Amino acid sequence: MLRPELLLTAYCKGIFPMAIDEKGEIGWFSPDPRAVIPLDERFHIPHGLKRVLKSGRFTVTVDTEFEPVMRECARREDGTWISEEIIESYCELHRLGHAHSVETRLAGKLVGGLYGVHIGGAFFGESMFHRATDASKVALAALVERLRAGGFLLLDTQWQTPHLAQFGTCEISRKQYLRLLSKALAVDGRF
């Protein structure tokens, strides 16, 4: 297991771990550029998702099924960077109050969600999944709402993806990222 102190220190320096092979060997990463989702008015909810959110079709919960969310995120057809060691390590961070999940449900069944790490006013998004259309998008919108209400300054998504781009994700240089991270770590964000 990766020690919680090691993980938290790495995140505070803009570094995060990923399993890099089938054996679960851990690599450490600090992308340049780094992708972030702005927590201000630049965060964009696509029109279709606004309708889904208004419909109330999904129920959103927080921190009720952290490990199941991680395991669902690890079930990827194209391989995963979420090894058993990663799951065990982040479940320990969750027990310590530094990792959180947002879950989406249909008729009470877990159908989507995301998880990440929280330090100060920074949230480091790790992974998301969906088993129903729009389920992960609803989780992301709920996360942004929670982070805004809690006074967070940073939502780190690590890399830009087409899925995240529709929400206004932008890439910034490592230098810019580390400046923003420093400011966010000094804030007492309430998850």
Question: Where in the sequence is the domain holding 54, given as residue range(s)?
Answer: 4-185
Q: What pLDDT shows up at residue 178?
A: 98
Number of domains observed in the structure of the chain: 1
- Residue 169 inside a domain? The answer is yes
- Residue 190 inside a domain? The answer is no
Q: What's the whole-number mean pLDDT along residues 115-137? A: 97
102, 85, 81, 38: CA torsion to nearest 10: 40
* CA-based nearest residue to 127, from 83, 74, 184, 86: 74
Q: What pLDDT shows up at residue 76?
A: 75
Q: What pLDDT shows up at residue 15?
A: 98
Predicted confidence band of residue 48 (pLDDT cuts 50, 70, 90): confident
- Residue 15 inside a domain? The answer is yes
Q: How many helices (H) and strands (E) does the chain have?
A: 7, 9
CATH code (residue 57): 3.40.630.70
Q: What pLDDT shows up at residue 66?
A: 98
- Residue 191 inside a domain? The answer is no
State the sign of the Cα–Cα–Cα–Cα dihedral 152, 173, 20, 127: positive
Q: What's the whole-number mean pLDDT along residues 147-166? A: 94
Q: What pLDDT shows up at residue 80?
A: 76
Cα 104 from Cα 69, distance rounded (Å): 10
- Model's pTM, two decimal places? 0.95
Predicted confidence band of residue 50 (pLDDT cuts 50, 70, 90): confident
Q: 């927080």: which residue's tokens?
A: 62
**Averaged pLDDT of the chain:** 95
DSSP state of 2: -
pLDDT in tens, 130-140: 999 999 999 99
- Residue 68 inside a domain? The answer is yes
Cα 133 from Cα 130, distance rounded (Å): 7
